[in-house]
Structure 1
Amino acid sequence: NWESGIRGSEPAFAWRKSGKPFKVHPTEIRTLISPSSAVELNTTSALANYATEAGDNEREGLLNHSIVDTWVKWESLLLIRFTISEELLVQIPAGPTRDPILQDSNRLPLRRCTHPWGHDSGVAISSYHAPCKTGVTRRVGVAIGDQILDLNAVSHLFDGPLLKDQQFVFKEATLNSFMSLGRAAWKEARDTLQRLLSVNDQTLQQNAELRARALVPQSSATMHLPAHIGDYTDFYSSIHHATNVGIMFRGPENALMPNWKYIPVGYHGRASSVVVSGTPIRRPNGQTCPVDGEAPVFGPCRLMDFELEVAFFVGGPPTTLGEPVPIQEAQDRIFGMVLMNDWSARDIQKWEYVPLGPFLSKSLGTTISPWVVTLDALLPFAVDNMEQVPKPFPYLRHGDKFNFDINLTIDIKRQLSIYSPGLVLYAERSVSSTVSRTNYKYMYWTSKQQLAHHTITGCNLNPGDLMASGTISGPASDSFGSMLELSWRGTKPVPLADGSTRKFLQDGDEVVI
């Protein structure tokens, strides 16, 4: 029952599912943003017939217009797109998709699926389930183009010497068992996948039934954490970030603590509150001290922040308590990397962090990307490590390149509502603002050094353990990895694309890394 304000002359016409046309002047039309996620759809008479219950004349009119490329989910809106003039494209919601023809599959009957043969594959791997497939539960898959290759469906094709007796790992709901097999098995799996997805291999290309079972559109899948995370450690390894925070709170003469250039500083985080991308995060309540020297108060966090990080998953068999992992073997223990947002309640953190470090200010939630990019896919992008002065202790030394040239950006998205002069809602659209551009190469301590230091006292590791970089900041003010730095402790408002500003995050903000 979408309506628009009407103003002026020369109205344009559009159709609603009720069949009643309504008049909208072109100057009143804005491009409407669908709440559905986008994939490609064929334009068919079946879609047009579904889109309206109006008479034959109006249905004939719809056949002359294209259906918006929208993945129509249960209760979402179908959009009809047509052109009023050469300059103006209009999208009109045609009603919810509650219709008998959709009840069996929750999706439109015809769908165009592009096959991914020929993609050059670095491997990104995760856990997912596809609601549109009957009886499908959580499973592991590999990203290829806009599809997911279901490893359960092709597990029998992993017939190399290391995996032919381990095919069960691809039938599980998480990657932990696969991670435990070690680097040689990971490489064999990667080689197998690249062969199966190459232009020259016919295994999937010539088997339509297997292809139908094995390929799932990413847009129709629900993503999960890629592994069961038993333990989570967060480091503090960006020298620019550590220096910025030190200057803010201790002054430039004491920016880095005396131990910072000797050890990869870290703390043990809360694995239970690590969540997959897209999980809503609630603004926490806690104790804060708004005025230094006065009594604390209890209430909602006022200084909510993000932290741009990259984390790696530990792989290989469990290690033995009391036996460190030498830095020469650390690379074989790094399965792959994910993006991370270490949500931070800065005012709660300020009150609680002395003397034992962050606690409730960090445990409110930590978001990671579902896709793990394997280490072998990242190695071609290795660059020189940052110069370390003083020279680290021998257990932290390695001569090979193990920083990575990975461009990283942070966007803040917010919903913008558009109303007519009569206060009738046109649409809600997302407005995105890039607030930072940085790079993983600015890490001072490498992930090898982090892992070697973590185990030097004999701490044991398990496959699926997660270790994070800490906030990644570059040398320039527009390359900082947190609002704490970008707004310089709230003293410099950060402009957004819609004309508003931010010092810290507001309710409804969406952070995209």
Structure 2
Amino acid sequence: MTSPNDPTLCSFIPVDAASDFPIQNLPYGVFSTSALPAPRIGVAIGDYVLDLWELEQDCRLVVGDLGVFSAPTLNPFMALGPKLWTRTRARISELLRHDNPELRDNPTLRERALVPMAQAKLHLPIAVAGYTDFYSSKEHATNVGIMFRGKDNALQPNWLHMPIAYNGRASTVVVSGTRVRRPRGQLKPPNGELPGFAPCKRLDFELEMGVVIGQASAMGGMLTEAQAEEMIFGFVLLNDWSARDIQQWEYVPLGPFQGKAFATSISPWVVTREALEPFRLSGPKQDPAPLPYLRQAKPNNYDLELEVGLRAASMKRPLRICHTNFKYMYWSSVQQLVHHAACGCAMNVGDLLGSGTISGPEKSQRGSLLEISWNGTEPIELEDGITRTFLEDNDSLVMRGWCQGDGYRIGFGEVEGTILPAE
């Protein structure tokens, strides 16, 4: 059988070479329509959503128990395991191939199963069981360390030995397009003696990738590199909004709390690990060598381009303020998951792991306004005299990501959020 990753594959549905969603991608999401408002599972192909529930009803796509694709989240499907993920993706690819008449020459089924993307409402694709945010870009950690501790003490002693993380709030993970209310919290001016309670004044974004965990692990156990890889269902774009001034006052001694708990935005399409397979590569050399449980026998990073656009309310379109790559991450997603479980922590279907801010070595590759404006000391110019150090009310932030193949791209769509004033 032809591999779903074969770059020569073509769909009977016309797909532009610049589209994020060719037949080689087939990302999963949850959608609804005005005609059928119940959320269900679909796959993106070109400018369409392929309704997997309709294919299931027609017995063209049978996976596990009947009705798995009528679920309002991907969790029941992910729980079926990697072998069924592989088999399902191969079958969907087969149905969409240009030379397969099953769907192509069945106008009644095609009418029901292919929904124009413009008519689909996209929902949060997973029921988020738990959310953990890592801190795994050496460039980002170094930049932040220089700002607050000086060049000679930029990285904390533990940073090069393990993936650093904190447990965030699953309850405020939202899908792209959800507007984000400016958070309120305790703020303490640098020269003030006491804090006050007020809206955040230094609101920021963090450009990240989110890892979607599709299989559970037992409490008390550990994971090998191979087991961790098998548990990863796919990836989403992730914006971990950050209230820098709230965080700065609260984070000692236990780390971020309300400065990060108010919102995390993810893209609606989950790009599978299998679709990203052709773009795997080795990450940066790790020196000192990690402890044995964190060592990797294979490349676990990805050549994945990322960009961020910022649009003020008066602007017609976003202006790109960052262009970087996921390949720069010092700690890979597999290492993050291995470390997460190493103490005996049970992982659940639907867990979400944020990569941490993704920055590169160049100034144009900084993945947060904290770095881009160097803690507010270097305002960025947008257009018509508009400048920013941090996000203002009614600003819109959009992130995009893609792996570029030969004549096609594996894209993630976008994750967008607009800032509303504090209540």
The TM-score normalised by the length of structure 1 is 0.73
Match of 2:5 in 1: none
Is this contact kept in 1: 2:12–2:98, CA < 8 A?
no
Matched, 1:405 2:291: no
Q: Which runs of 5+ in 2 are unaligned?
A: 1-10, 16-21, 400-423
Structure number with greater CO (CA < 8 Å, separation at least 6) is 2
The one of 277, 292, 300 aligned to 1:394: 292
Q: 1:159-198 CA distances to partner (integer Å, 9 max, x unpaired)?
A: 4xxx3x4343212111001111111111101100110000
The one of 213, 216, 231 aligned to 1:314: 213
Is this contact kept in 2: 1:431–1:497, CA < 8 A?
no
Matched, 1:486 2:372: yes
Alignment of 1:391-470 (within 5 A): 391-416=289-314, 430-470=316-356
Shift of 1:314: 0.4
Q: 1:207-257 CA distances to partner (integer Å, 9 max, x unpaired)?
A: 111111111111111111111001000000000000000000000110000
Q: Which runs of 4+ in 1 moved over 6 A?
A: none
The one of 334, 337, 341 aligned to 2:235: 337
Distance of 2:191 and 2:268 partners within structure 1:
40
Q: 1:299-323 CA distances to partner (integer Å, 9 max, x unpaired)?
A: 111000000000110012x322111
Shift of 1:117: 5.4
SS in 2 for 1:362: helix
Distance of 1:144 and 1:167 partners within structure 2:
23
Q: 1:371-423 CA distances to partner (integer Å, 9 max, x unpaired)?
A: 0000000111111121001100111011211110111000001232xxxxxxx
SS in 2 for 1:415: coil
Distance of 1:398 and 1:224 partners within structure 2:
35
Distance of 1:392 and 1:167 partners within structure 2:
45
Shift of 1:292: 3.6
Match of 2:278 in 1: 380
Alignment of 1:111-510 (within 5 A): 116=13, 119-131=22-34, 133=35, 135-155=36-56, 156-159=59-62, 163=63, 165-292=64-191, 294-316=193-215, 318-416=216-314, 430-510=316-396
SS in 1 for 2:49: strand
Distance of 2:364 and 2:297 partners within structure 1:
31
Q: 1:301-350 CA distances to partner (integer Å, 9 max, x unpaired)?
A: 1000000000110012x322111222221110000000010000000000
Letter in 1 for 2:39: R
Letter in 2 for 1:432: P
CA RMSD of aligned residues (A): 1.4
Q: 1:42-92 CA distances to partner (integer Å, 9 max, x unpaired)?
A: xxxxxxxxxxxxxxxxxxxxxxxxxxxxxxxxxxxxxxxxxxxxxxxxxxx
Distance of 1:248 and 1:181 partners within structure 2:
46
SS in 2 for 1:431: coil
Q: Which runs of 5+ in 1 are unaligned?
A: 1-113, 417-428
Match of 2:415 in 1: none
Is this contact kept in 2: 1:311–1:338, CA < 8 A?
yes
Distance of 1:498 and 1:440 partners within structure 2:
32
Bigger radius of gyration = 1
Distance of 2:109 and 2:268 partners within structure 1:
25
- Count residues in correspondence: 381
Is this contact kept in 2: 1:117–1:199, CA < 8 A?
no
Letter in 1 for 2:295: R
Shift of 1:291: 2.4
- Does the C-alpha gap of structure 1 residues 508 and 284 become closer, same or farther in structure 2, counting only changes over 3 Å? same
Alignment of 1:45-84 (within 5 A): none
Distance of 1:380 and 1:494 partners within structure 2:
36
